[in-house]
Structure 1
Amino acid sequence: MKSTLTSVALAAVVVAATAVAAVPASAAPAKTAPARCHTADLKAGFALGDDAKPEMGQSEKQTQASIWFTNRSNRTCTLSGFAGVDMIGAQKTDGTWSLARSSKAPVTMTLEQGDTVDFSITLLPVAASTPQKEKFVPAKFLVTPPNETEHFTLSWPFGGQILKQDAATHPGTYLNPIGM
């Protein structure tokens, strides 16, 4: 009788061990995706290299300036969507201009510690001879990372003027999403 009980108990242990070993890999805990980047995780600035400078001295076509975000935290994080950008003008009549977004679809960018990603601002410069009421003279940019409320204050380093279209439905000056 002991031998039959021992055999049944041993068989139960073997079946249980086989069941544990047969757990599919998909049931294993999933690796969690990185959280989004917060303003405190980042530093920001204008891209200043020769090939990155917008052509503000011309008025025949649009040009682009780029703003970068670098992950300065000790964790991996993501950015997706559009930054918020408010331009503050140098002229008393300029005020603040909140830039419209392009129709480009955003993608999610993953930033490990020290990684940098940028986004571009398409600008429509005008000639210096343009009447003052038709031009916006950038002085500062308030740049808010996507889904955040705190911003960076960046001084505009490139000079020039932009055609003032702060109330236009489809302005010639607008934002592109992070990574574009």
Structure 2
Amino acid sequence: MRNKLTAVALAAVVVAGTAATAVPASAASAKAGPTRCHTADLKAGFAMGGDARPEMGQSEKQTQAYIWFTNESERTCTLSGFAGVDMVGAQKTDGTWSLARSAKKPVKMTLGRGDTVDFSITLLPVSGSTPQKEKFVPAKFLVTPPNETEHFTLKWPFGGQILKQDGATRPATYLNPVGM
């Protein structure tokens, strides 16, 4: 009886092993699709075109700045979710402000080699006459791609100041998901 069970178990292992190797590796990886983009795969920067520049010289309404990611790797990869964005201030009292996320739902973006996607940051500029304790003067942005831990350091190129709401539950300065 023991020999029959051993033989049946051995046959099951052999069949299972044969079935597992019957699928070519290229077919298995083709079905899996692209994996997520890593910080090392990407390049990042602020969009500098006319329509992409935030209106930092006004203080009546919100404005948007855009940050882009370009896939510089040899492979296709995906980005989905929110980047991590920490603004580092130029004033001694500014410190670092981790931006809140909007309520928008992220979508998965597929980036081939050389493809670019961006996301927007909504900002509420204030006038220069605003008391120092109420304004945040951005110097640089620490931008971490979604689901990553390493960041890019981007110098803030637009000047101006933002209403300081780093402790607010619904701040007027926040970020949107990648692709929006």
Structure 1 length as normaliser, TM-score? 0.84
1:59-138 map, 5 Å? 59-138=59-138
Identical positions, percent: 85
Gaps of 5+ in 2: 1-26
Secondary structure (helix, strand or coil) at the match of 2:118 reads strand
Q: Give the RMSD, CA atoms, in angstroms.
A: 0.9
- Counterpart for residue 155 of structure 2: 155
Q: CA deviation at 1:176?
A: 0.1
Matched, 1:44 2:54: no
Shift of 1:178: 0.2
> C-alpha separation between the residues in 2 aligned to 1:87 and 1:136?
9
Counterpart in 2 of 1:13? none
- CA displacement, residues 120-165 of structure 1 (integer Å, 9 cap, x when unaligned): 0000000000000000000000000000000000000000000000
Corresponding position: 1:57 with 2:45: no
What CA distance in whole angstroms lies between the structure 2 residues aligned with 1:40 and 1:112? 15
Q: Partners of 2:171 and 2:51 in 1: how far apart?
A: 24
The structural deviation recorded for 1:32 is 1.8
Counterpart CA distance in 2 for 1:127 and 1:107 is 35
Secondary structure of the residue aligned to 1:125 is coil
Identify the residue that residue 18 of structure 1 maps to in structure 2: none
The whole-number CA distance in structure 1 between the counterparts of 2:133 and 2:32 is 52
Residue deviations 1:5-53 (CA, integer Å, cap 9, x gap): xxxxxxxxxxxxxxxxxxxxxxx85622100000000000000001110
Counterpart of 1:5? none
2: CA distance between counterparts of 1:149 and 1:175?
18
**Alignment-mate amino acid for residue 148 of structure 1:** E
* Aligned residue type for 1:65: A
Greater radius of gyration (CA):
1
Gaps of 5+ in 1: 1-27
Q: Distance in 1 between matches of 2:177 and 2:58?
A: 25
In structure 2, the residue matched to 1:179 is 179
Whole-Å separation in 2 of the counterparts to 1:81 and 1:113: 20
Query: Does residue 173 of structure 2 align to residue 167 of structure 1?
Result: no
Length-normalised TM-score, structure 2: 0.84
